[in-house]
Every structure is written in C-alpha cells, then in structure tokens.
Chain A
Amino acid sequence: MFKCKTSAEVGGMGHSVKRKEDARFLHGKGNYVDDVKLPGMLTMVMVRSPYAYAKIKSIKKDKALAIPGVLAVITGEDLAQYNLHWMPTLLSDTQMVLPTDTVMHQSQEVCAVIATDRYVAVDGAEAVEVDYEPMQAIVDPYKALDEDAPLLRPDKEGQKDNQIYHWERGDRAKTDAVIANADVVVKERIYLPRIHVASIETCGCVASYDKDTQKLLVYLTTQAPHAIRTVVALVAGHVGLSEEKIRIISPDIGGGFGGKVPVYPAYVVAIAASFLIGKPVKWIEDRSENLVNGFARDYHMDCELAATKDGKIQAFKVSTLADHGYTDSSANPSKYPTGMFSICTGSYDYEHAFAELDAVYTNKAPGGVAYRCSFRVTEAVHAIERMVDKLAAKIDKDPALLRLENFIKKEQFPYDSPLGWSYDSGDYEATLKKAMDMVGYDDYKKEQAEKRKEGKLMGIGLCTFTEVVGAGPSKDFDILGIAMFDSAEIRVHPTGKAMARFGTKSQGQGHETTYAQILAEELGIPYTDIEIEEGDTDTAPYGLGTYASRSTPTAGAAAAIAARKLKDKGKKIAAHLLEVSEEDIEWEVGKYFVKGAPEKSKTIQDVAFAAYTNIPPGMEPGFEATHYYDPPNLTFPNGAYICVVEVEQETGAIDVKRFVAIDDCGNIINPMIVEGQVHGGLTQGIAPAMYEGIEYDDEGNVLNGTLMDYLVPTAVESPHWETGHTITPSPHHPLGAKGVAESPTVGAPPAIANAIIDALSPLGIEHLDIPITPAKVWEAIQAHT
C-alpha cells in the first residue's frame, strides 16, 4: 500500500485533503459560461431541422428580422461568402457549420438568430420560415451499406458509398483457424446503443470579437481550450483570425465527460456572428438541443470467443459496425480511428485475436463523441466481458474461476497483448480476490443456489476489466495532427508560495487540489500555498486538455518533472546558502540539508527567497520551471467489479442489491477524490446499463430527446456504491499513478448486464443488450416461459 511521505499540513500524495475549489461552488460564486456577461452582449438561438434528411428549398428571414430586437439571421449561404459553412471534425471528417442546401439529421443547425435578449431570439427563431423537402432518412446502419442505399455524403470527393472507413487489427487467418478448431466457441451480436453524457451544464459560449484590436475572446465550455484555439485558427485563419489573436477561456465547467471536447457548429456561428457584428454573442444550448446532438457508442459488435473444453481462452474475434451519423466527429487520434478499441482482448492471456470495424454514415447526429470514455474502451470491455460470461455459462464454470484461470499473471507484466498494447502493470488475481472477499462471493453463490431452488431470480455479475488511458505517447497519438502531450508550468514566488498552470482543464475532477498535492509531494510546499490555474490559453502552457482520464497520467507527470527540475536548481542554491558543494546536499520533503549534518538545512521557502535575493554567481535568477510531458507508454488501470441483483419474474423489475468496485489505478494522489470519481463513474455505468439509450423511429426522429424520457439516474436509481483499491504502481509514470475516472464507466455496465443475465439464465436467457430495462426483461421472460 501507498505510504504518505508528507505531513497532513503539507498534504502531498495519499492525503484525502478537502478540495480547494469547493468554496466558490458552495456559495454560488462559480463562474460558468452562462454566468459571463459582457457589455452590449447579444444572444444567439439556433433554428434546427425537424427532419432527419431534407433539402432546404428556402430560408425566409423577413418575419424574424421584423421583430424589434432581432438583429440578424445567419444562414449557411451567409457563411459560405466567407468559406465558413463547413469545418473539420476532430477526426478530419467534415461537418456543416450551417447548411446551404441539405440537412442531414434531426435537430441539425439550420440558421442562427441574433437578438438583444434570449426571449426575443426565440421569437425570431420561431418566425424564420424554412421550406424543406423531406427525403427518406437512413436510420439503420446495416441498410446504409445496401448497394441501393442513397449516397449520403456526395460532397466528399471519392466517396462512393456510405462507408467511412474499414479498420482492422490482428491476424484474421490465424484467429479464424483457432476458432474453427476450438472445442468451444461462443458467439453473440452485442449492441451498445447511442447515449449522451448529459452533463448538468449544457454547452455554450460567449464570443467577443473586438474590431479595433482584431482580437477574439471566447468563453467556451471546452475540455481542451488550446486545441480549440488551434482549430479556430485553422478554420477561420483565412478571414483574419490568426492564432495569436485568439484567446479561449474555459471557465468553470459544469461536467464534461467528453461531451465538451468537440467543436459544435453553434460555437463557430457565434464566433462568426461576433466577428461580423462586432459585439459579444452568447449561445447557451437548451437541454433538448444538447441531448439530440453528439453521441457516444453506437457499436454493433459480432463477437466470437474460442476456448478449450475446460475453459482456457484461445482466441477472440470481433467485427463491428459503427454508426457515426452523418459525420465522424470522434475525437480520436488519427492513427486510431476506433480509439483504443483493440484493448478488447481484455485481462486474459491468449495469443490470437482479430478486430475489425466498418464505420458508416447515417442520418443521425454526429457520432463518436465520448461518454466518460472517449476512446471506445467501454465498447471493447463490454464485448470481452459479456463473452467471457457467456463462455462460463456454456461450459458451466464459475465465471470468477474462469477469469482467475485465464488472467494475465502479475509476473507477465509488461504484457504484450495480441492486438499490440504493452500493458504496464497489474495484479488481476489480487484485485478480483479482494472484490470477492468484500462482496462475500462464496456466500452469495450459496444464497443463489438456494433461491434458484425456490424459483427466485438472483444474479451475480462480474467484470474484470483493463483500461487504457493517458495518451500520448506523441509518436502515436494526436488530435488533428497535434501531438498528445501535456504540460505544467510552476512559479515559486519569493515568499515560498507557488502558482502552477496546466494545459488540462478540470470539469469537476478537482485539479486545483490534486495538482497542488503533486507539487506538495515533490517540493514540500503545503498544498494550501499553491494556486492552480487552467483553461486560459493566454496564460496556460499548451496542452491537449482533459478527457480520456489523461490529466494525471500526462499533466500530473509534467507537474512532477517540472517540480524535480526546480528541486535540482534549489539544490545548487542550497549549496550556495550552506556554503558546501552541491554533492554534499541531501533532500527530504521540504528541505535541503548537509549530508551528515542535518541541523544545517534550508527549507524550500528559504531557497525560493534566495532565488530572487541571493543568487549564486552565474545562475539564472528566479524559481520557475516548465515541463511538457510526453509519456513513454499509456497507463493501464484495471479493476474487478461484482454486482448482485434480484429480478422480479412477474414484473421484470431489477433490484441492484450490492455493487462492489475494486479499482487499481496505481498510486493515488487523493483517495477522497478518487473514490468520488469512482462513485460518479459507477452511476454513469449503471445509466447506460439500465436506463439510457437514445431511440430513433424509422424517419430518424429522436424519441426521447428530453430529460423527461432520457432517464438520467437520480439518487434513487443509483445504488449505494462500495469501493476499494489494490495498488499496482505504473512503472513508467513518475508518480506511479494511472488515472481512474473512466474505469467505473467502463467496468460497471458489463458487471450489471452479467448479473441480470445470470439471474435470468435458469430461464434459458443467454444475452440481453443494454439498457436492460424492466420492460426488456419482462419481454424476455415472457418469451422464455
């Protein structure tokens, strides 16, 4: 276990110090985008398409413009004059900012109304007359590949059908051969439906262009302010918005979960509107707009798992159809269009695997946006973990035992997975055994046997997942060509207090506390004496932002290394102050002392003061350091989750009795915050497992586009989570940390699905796709009894 090196007052790693950022939120003094008010600010409201696929015959602005207070109606034709009507997505596809002739999904932005206040803007939006000629939408991704399917993206040069790309990894022939000759093969088509992150704060921006200084300031709900600045410069450089004139401020963010990584069309329209009008323009998304635009998941996965008759896994194959909507807006590295989906071989030791994926266009909102896991790990883990349970059921073996017998052993790390990852560390057996002990696995197995005799439906579900987070390394990972590293810049002031800035951006993760703790750990300066800033591109060092659990693995590492640079400089200063040679100086948290004479010492604060007042001859003054950290590998957090459910046969009602989550995310900076992240992630795991899923009808209408029917779990649906840890430090991360926030969202859905399906297994039910609702369970029970 991790032992704290610092006192509670210093508050370095391992201390559950209370969060530094809480006070402003608790007193209603947070500063979210909608709280920003600039002089002369106008409001923008979008007119959106009621159709999933339609020609736009005309847009009439007159009635809207006649309303007092409506200043402008901006259409795609208006933007086309500046060549701003299309923009790149983060995966180098193209997306309309505003359409000139065709709308491609329901609720797509059609035009924008700019007015003096929100109510007037809404009146204006209702007064805009759009004449549509509806066309038959393609909703089913399998039909999108039919030979006679209409070509959805004729605007793309060389695009002959609705396939976006084909991707594959692994050895198809060998995997097929092993599967063909295996004792046991289990197969399933597993669907992970479209879901939406639904952060409680929706998206929005305030764009303010100053015609005199030619500077653009944008307050934006973004998880990646620097990347957005570069994208804006790339998209709008030709009209004069060059990067040094653009300042993106990501203020307090009311939850992100990946939904605030993409550039949404309305951001660009608001910027264009401010650029044209010369006044600040605010756009705040409605919840209904938010829920029907930008999705995660939507993978149809055909899985095959092969094993020997006693359950030794031999090969895994998965062929996926990915529905991306009308454009691929995945925020994935260019070499990894399917993100880290090839982690799908899981926590098990076997040689042969093959994964392929075809991505297609349909008349749905742009897909590929994250849901607390941007890089497709959730899909991958769901596939393997459902299949392992299916194998266990097929050969009638305890699913825990099957996992224990197939795990990669701790002495096998670093472990090269069949699809090309190098897992850094783990002790899967210890993690699962801890979860089994905590839940009381053996007792539940006995209870289940008793209940089954009485005809009651009780299920125990497991998930033992391996995550992959912390991108870079920059040689492999990028966003639109920008390498995925991250940064920290530390300034220690003469009085020994410090300020540090980062290229990441907290959306609730508590960076103002955890980064201060990392610096406290390294420098011995109390965390309360360290201010943390993020989100302002004019002041923060360049970084790729916060998503995919990458902040601790990248920027956290940058903080540690920048602090170590300072410590090295401090050693020279201490030697100068103590009048000994540098070799005679030793360090213990917060102070330098003379080897063998610990009474002769200088604190880090003394040294900081000297860096500005009593500088050794020839040394550069000041006490500052910057580091851009390019990780040598990803980190591989893992965990073992166990869920116990009871299902009521008469109604299909599902009662989650217990849920135990043991996570191994390496060394922990703040246990309280990590536990909080796990709780939140688990609720965002039960959400898609049992409640959430965006549904479409055959015309491409979204059937549940408000929070009245898109069921975000409340405190009632969310179980009492039980959490714990094993600690296997990452061998390559400077702090031995790994990142955690997405693990629970990845691990919970299969554990819950496995538990419910286990409960239903006496009836002969072998699989259900998530969300597993009482209605779905009831129907399955009816079909099997």
Chain B
Amino acid sequence: MKHEITVTINGESVTAEVDSRLLLVHFIRENLDLTGTHIGCDTSNCGACTILLDGKSVKSCTYLAVRADGAEITTIEGVAAEGTNHPLQQAFHDQHGLHCGFCTPGMIMRSLDLLKNNPDPSEEEIRWGISGNLCRCTGYNNIVKSVQQAAKEMQNQSETV
C-alpha cells in the first residue's frame, strides 16, 4: 500500500509516495539518493544509519518512512554547508577519528545529539553516549578525542556568539 509523506530533509521539503513497509533508511538512500547514511546491520546494533529526526538521533533502519511524515530530518549531507566542516567533521579529521569512513556519518550524527544534550561530556559519558554505534577500525580512542575536540570548539563558538 502506498502513502504520501512529506518530510523536510536537510532543509528541503520533499513529498513522496512510499510503500507502507519502506524503511526510512532506504527512503533516504534510494529515493532521495543521499547515500551518506549507511546500512551495517539488520538488528539496530551498528548505528551506521543514524540520522537526526526532529533533532534527535534515530537509527533509520528501524524506522518506517511513513512514520517520518511531517518530520524534519538531517543526514550527514546536511550537517554543514557545502565545502565547509561542522566542528565534529573537522575534529574527526584532525584527530584521525575515521579509517574506512563507513561508520563515520552515523558516529557524527549520534555525537551531534550527544553534544546537544551534554555540551561538556567526560570521556566515560562520550564512550557510553556513542555505545550504540559500532566502529570496527579505530578502536574508538580517536573518536572519543574527536568528540572532545568538537565539544570544546562548539562551546567556544557558542560563547563567542
């Protein structure tokens, strides 16, 4: 059965007809061609598909597209203006927080939510905060450092505003 949904994705409003069973991650990747959101498992464990839905991090592989009707979605492609880096993107680059890059979009989307709710997290809070996202390459040390750097930078930015 088809349903019409309207979502705002990275600031743009999109209306589409979708199957009732279509997963949000497939809608994002296949219907909208935003392939930065990845699929790494089928049990909601890996977090590679993490996006922001109405400002909260959500694993889009366990969310039906129809349920997102009316929602505001941010994917990795919408985190920063073209050609610029969000402090988290810059920090992952500076701290070597990525190797193969497959988990990176999900890690960044999750970290965005984490830092919104906890702008100055401890190492332990970061580790628990990203524990729904698996990385097989980095051993996490440098992801933690990336989130720490971004937290500092984002705090500096908010202080100077």
Contacts and interface: CB of A to CB of B under 8 A. Distances in A.
Contacts of B43: 287-288, 706-708
A118 B26 CA distance: 10
B35 interface: yes
Given A119-B21, A679-B141, A716 B127 contact: yes
Interface in B54-87: 75-77, 80, 85
A280 B110 CA distance: 35
Nearest to B126: A715
Contacts of B100: 25, 199-201, 252-256, 507-508
A284 B136 CA distance: 19
Given A19-B96, A26-B85, A287 B140 contact: no
Contacts of B144: 715
A116 to B, nearest CB: 12
Interface stretch (A28-36, A79-87, A305-313, A479-487): A28-36
A708 B134 CA distance: 12
Contacts of B102: 30, 32, 199-201, 254-255
Nearest to B100: A508
Contact of B96 (A31, A34, A672): A672
A257 interface: yes
B19 A680 contact: no
Interface in B94-152: 94, 96, 98-105, 108, 123, 126-128, 130-144
Nearest to B37: A28
A201 B40 contact: yes
Interface string A1-41: 00000000000000000110111111111111011010000
Contacts of B127: 714-716, 718
Q: Quick one: which of B22, B37, B105, B143 has the most chain A CB within 10 A?
A: B105
Nearest to B129: A715
A707 B101 contact: no
- Range of interface residues on A (Cβ < 8 Å): 35 or more
B40 A287 contact: yes
Contacts of B12: none
Contacts, number: 184
Given A28-B76, A681-B139, A22 B130 contact: no
B93 interface: yes
Given A200-B134, A683-B140, A26 B46 contact: no
B14 interface: no
Interface in B8-49: 19, 21-22, 26, 29, 33-43, 45-46, 48
Given A18-B94, A202-B40, A680 B101 contact: no
Main secondary structure of the interface of B (DSSP, over half): loop
A200 B141 contact: no
Contacts of B96: 18-19, 672-673, 675-676
A15 B143 CA distance: 21
B134 to A, nearest CB: 5
A27 B42 contact: no
Interface in A247-294: 252-257, 284, 286-288
A716 B136 contact: no
B131 A680 contact: no
A757 interface: no
Contacts of A508: 98-101, 137
B50 to A, nearest CB: 12
A119 B25 CA distance: 13
Nearest to B82: A27
Nearest to B106: A200
A25 B138 CA distance: 14
A23 B89 CA distance: 9
A676 B92 CA distance: 12
Interface string A659-698: 0000000000000110111111111100000000000000
B93 A201 contact: no
B98 A22 contact: yes
Given A28-B36, A253-B100, A720-B141, A200 B46 contact: yes
A216 interface: no
B139 A680 contact: yes
A167 interface: no
Interface string A509-522: 11000000000000
Contacts of B29: 34-35
A336 B71 CA distance: 57
Contact of A680 (B37, B40, B136): B136
A26 B123 contact: no
A200 B36 CA distance: 14
Contact of A721 (B26, B37, B141): B141
A692 to B, nearest CB: 11
Q: Quick one: which of B29, B36, B85 has the most chain A CB within 10 A?
A: B36
A343 interface: no
A682 B138 CA distance: 9
Contact of B38 (A119, A197, A254, A715): A254
A195 B76 CA distance: 32
A71 interface: no
A712 interface: yes
Contacts of A675: 96
A231 interface: no
A255 B138 CA distance: 10
A284 B38 CA distance: 12
B25 to A, nearest CB: 11
Contact of A28 (B35, B103, B123, B126): B35
B36 to A, nearest CB: 2
B99 A509 contact: yes
A255 to B, nearest CB: 5
A19 B146 CA distance: 14
A198 interface: yes
Q: Quick one: which of A18, A201, A257 has the most chain B CB within 10 A?
A: A201
A27 B109 CA distance: 11
B20 to A, nearest CB: 11
Nearest to B77: A28
Contact of A714 (B19, B33, B48, B131): B131
Interface in A207-262: 252-257
A677 B48 CA distance: 21
Given A200-B103, A676-B142, A25 B136 contact: no
Given A18-B93, A508-B99, A676-B99, A29 B138 contact: no
B139 A22 contact: no
A27 B85 CA distance: 8
A706 B138 CA distance: 21
A509 B98 CA distance: 10
Q: Quick one: which of B134, B139, B141 has the most chain A CB within 10 A?
A: B139
B134 A712 contact: yes
A200 B40 contact: yes
Contacts of B143: 715
Contacts of B92: 22, 26
Contacts of B19: 119
Contacts of B26: 118
Nearest to B139: A679
A338 B102 CA distance: 32
A26 B136 contact: no
B122 to A, nearest CB: 12
Given A200-B48, A673-B96, A676-B96, A683 B40 contact: no
A34 B101 CA distance: 14
B45 A707 contact: yes
Given A200-B46, A200-B102, A676-B139, 12 more contacts: A22-B93, A35-B29, A119-B22, A200-B48, A201-B40, A252-B101, A255-B102, A257-B136, A287-B41, A680-B99, A707-B41, A715-B131
Interface of B: 19, 21-22, 26, 29, 33-43, 45-46, 48, 75-77, 80, 85, 89, 92-94, 96, 98-105, 108, 123, 126-128, 130-144
The list of the 4 closest CB pairs from A to B, nearest first, reads: A28-B36, A25-B101, A508-B100, A254-B102
17 contacts: A26-B101, A28-B37, A32-B102, A34-B29, A35-B29, A199-B100, A199-B136, A200-B48, A200-B100, A287-B41, A679-B138, A706-B42, A707-B46, A708-B43, A708-B45, A715-B128, A715-B140
